[in-house]
Amino acid sequence: MSISRIPVILIIALALLAPAAFAQQTYVTRYDTFVGYAFLDSPKVSLFSNGFAAQLGVRPKPWYSLGFDYSLSTGDLTLTPNLLPTALQQQLGAQLGQLIAAGLLPKTYTLTVPAHARTQTFAVGPQLSYRHFTHATLFLRPVFAGAIHEAATPQAAPGDFFAAAVVEQLAPTGKKTDTTWFLGFGGGFDIIFSKNVSWRVQADLVYSHLFNDLLQNGYMTTRFSTGPAFNFGKNIKE
């Protein structure tokens, strides 16, 4: 799914739901859980990864809740020299110049290092809910924080001896891992089928700076997930 289409899909879905449900919800459970498909999209490093997300929340009040979020996804990214720290860019540029001058690499050579990434996220934060509709709940996560862990396995293209040497330099063990914090915000909606079952659609935008010894700058990542949500516990509207 194209990222640019997500806001349009959300608007259309809400427009279809709204006319059918202009009454406040009378049953709101204390707890909710969610599990479903998820993807992460980080254009800065050309990473698009697929996986799943799970959530657990508790509602002190009908209009807000506190929750924990976990996601696991895998995908492929591409490292290019412009992403690296200036000193490393200059070092690689000098080496490339020497190899091209010696005729060992073509003048049109461009360094790219593909890698397979496995990413886990762990987040906590508040959620504000709008329950004016009987069959839909809108929610906003104004801010949340967490940790992101990623394991990347770079692999040079066959026959690319220079990229292979760069991989050996950057990840001598064949894999590079890192864990850091992230900060984000987001929101979405639940389509309510019954007091215990709904369908959730949500998207977040988060900032992180993984591999800060390798990547010059941090970057934004879109997190999207959708799937069933299950509500249980006593009715806190009573």
190 contacts 10 by C-beta, under 8 angstroms: no
The dihedral region occupied by 132, where left means phi > 0, alpha psi between -120 and 50, and beta the remainder, is: alpha
Question: What is the CA angle 212-89-165, rounded to 5?
Answer: 90
The helix (run of H) or strand (run of E) holding residue 12 is: helix 6-17
Residue-wise pLDDT tens for the chain (238 aa)? Answer: 445 445 555 555 555 555 544 567 889 999 999 999 999 999 999 999 999 999 999 999 999 999 999 999 999 999 999 999 999 999 999 999 999 999 999 999 999 999 999 999 999 999 999 999 999 999 999 999 999 999 999 999 898 999 999 999 888 998 999 999 999 999 999 999 999 999 999 999 999 999 999 999 999 999 999 999 999 999 998 6
Tell me if residue 25 falls in helix, strand or coil: coil
For the entire predicted model, the pTM comes to 0.85
Q: Which residue has the tokens 């959708």?
A: 226
3-class DSSP assignment, residue 101? helix
How many residues would you count in the chain?
A: 238
What's the gap between Cα 60 and its chain centre?
Answer: 27
Angstrom distances, CA of residue 163 to CA of 87, 96, 100, 199: 18, 11, 14, 45
In a 13 Å sphere around the CA of 127, the CA atoms on its Cβ side amount to 30
Domains contained in the chain, CATH given: 3-235 (2.40.160.20)
